[in-house]
């Protein structure tokens, strides 16, 4: 990209932060090394991930999901990369930040309450502007989810084992985890209380066994009230982040699946998740999701904080 001028923006959704690269015509060679440099908090702009803002049609020849997006009328595509340079299928917080950027650039018209669409590798996502104090709350249709091990895994309390360290240097006894697919892979671990959640040392990746074939984002959750969860997350390709949108949906879906298994339990379809970077809302349309028919929605803020031009890269 020597000699080329590339505009960037920086934004976050509940402090899950991203570098956005403006590349409408898919002219950039977004090699993993460039992503790592940009995401680095010392040598680059810093972020949990990098989002290339690209026209779906411009990426259609090399990315089948971009071709589908273009055909479905979603003009813009979120080409999402984790901070380590790896490609991820979906990013719930990232979609909202992308939408905030497209609105700022006048590329998407989304009056409050209206619905638009953006392309991702995890499929076309419907987005709605909800408003909020500074007009920054967006809701994203996250589609169906899948509990990988089905009802048997839910009944057993999980399908994998998770080992995680705590700040004293010790490790918690092995914990059950439930694998949930949101387009990207998640493992959700239910913890007994907030003290245990706070005690986790997520500077080291939790170990999941059997090892998920494509890695996993691991969410640790504690129910804090009816339809309320506290969550911390270790993201695949990043490390601990202050929020994860797909993780929030996976966490709520897992806890809801456990509760649906309790006879007589009143299980809410709306959940509030408190993460270190703020709060997001997850809604499920009625159903248990197991037939792929039920859908989920994630809502939360998105903020752009800077824009500029890349130099020397």
Ligand X SMILES: N[C@@H](CCC[C@H](N)C(=O)O)C(=O)O
Q: Out of 34, 88, 91, 139, pick the active-site residue.
A: 91
244 is catalytic: yes
Check whether 93 is labelled as a binding-site residue: yes
Q: Which is nearer to ligand X, 94 or 165 (CB)?
A: 94
Q: Is 245 annotated as a binding residue?
A: yes
Q: How far is the CB of 92 from ligand X (least distance, A)?
A: 4
Residues that bind ligand X (CB under 6 A): 16, 49, 82, 88, 91-94, 184, 217, 235-238, 241, 244-247
**Residue 264 C-beta: closest distance to ligand X, Å:** 33
Q: How far is the CB of 308 from ligand X (least distance, A)?
A: 23
Which lies closer to ligand X via its Cβ, residue 179 or residue 246? 246
Residue 92 labeled ligand binder: yes
Task: Please give the full DSSP string across the chain, using - where no structure is assigned.
Answer: -TT---EEEEEEETTEEEEEEE-TT------HHHHHHHH-TTTSS--SEEEEEEEHHHHTTT-HHHHHHHHTT--EEEEEEETTS-B-S--HHHHHHHHHHHHHTTSS---TT-EEEEB-TT--EEEEEEE-TTS-EEEEEEE--EETTHHHHHHTT-SEEEE-BBTTS-BPPPEEEEEEESSSEEEEEE-S-HHHHHHB-TTSPPEEESPPTT--EEEEEEEEETTEEEEEEEETTTEEES--HHHHHHHHHHHHHHHHTSTT----SEEEEEETTEEEEEEE-SS-STTS---EEEEEE-EEEEEEE----
Query: How near is the Cβ of 306 to ligand X at its closest, in Å?
Result: 19
Pick the catalytic residue from 137, 244, 248, 282: 244
- 85 annotated ligand-binding residue: no
- Our CB check for ligand X shows the closer of 4 and 41 to be 41
Q: Which is nearer to ligand X, 179 or 184 (CB)?
A: 184
Cite the active site residues.
Answer: 91, 244
Give the annotated binding-site residues for substrate: 16, 82, 92-93, 184, 217, 235-236, 245-246
Give the annotated binding-site residues: 16, 82, 92-93, 184, 217, 235-236, 245-246
């Amino acid at each position: 990209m020597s000699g080329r001028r590339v505009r960037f923006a920086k934004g976050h959704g509940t402090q899950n932060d991203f570098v956005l690269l403006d590349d409408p015509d898919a002219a950039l060679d977004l090699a993993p090394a460039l992503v790592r440099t940009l995401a680095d908090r010392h040598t680059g702009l810093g972020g949990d991930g990098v989002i290339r803002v690209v026209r779906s049609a411009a990426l259609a020849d090399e990315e089948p999901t971009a071709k589908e997006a273009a055909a479905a009328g979603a003009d813009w595509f979120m080409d999402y990369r984790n901070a380590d340079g790896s490609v991820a299928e979906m990013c719930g917080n990232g979609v909202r930040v992308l939408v905030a950027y497209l609105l700022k650039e006048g590329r998407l018209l989304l009056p409050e309450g209206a619905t638009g669409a953006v392309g991702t590798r995890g499929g076309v996502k419907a987005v709605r502007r909800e408003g909020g104090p500074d007009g920054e709350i967006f809701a994203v249709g996250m589609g169906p989810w899948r509990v990988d091990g089905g009802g048997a895994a839910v009944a057993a309390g999980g399908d994998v084992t998770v080992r995680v360290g705590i700040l004293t240097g010790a490790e918690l006894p092995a914990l059950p985890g439930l694998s949930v697919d949101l387009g990207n892979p998640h493992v959700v671990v239910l913890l007994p209380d907030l003290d245990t959640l706070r005690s986790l040392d997520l500077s080291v990746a939790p170990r999941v066994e059997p090892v998920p074939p494509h890695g996993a984002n691991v969410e640790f959750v504690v129910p804090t009230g009816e339809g309320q969860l506290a969550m911390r997350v270790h993201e695949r390709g990043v490390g601990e982040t202050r929020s994860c949108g797909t993780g929030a949906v996976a966490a709520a879906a897992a806890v809801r699946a456990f509760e649906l298994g309790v006879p007589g339990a009143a299980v809410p379809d709306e959940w509030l998740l408190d993460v270190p970077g703020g709060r997001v809302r997850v809604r499920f349309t009625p159903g248990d999701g197991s037939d792929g028919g039920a859908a989920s929605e994630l809502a939360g803020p998105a903020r752009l904080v800077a824009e500029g031009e890349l130099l020397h890269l």
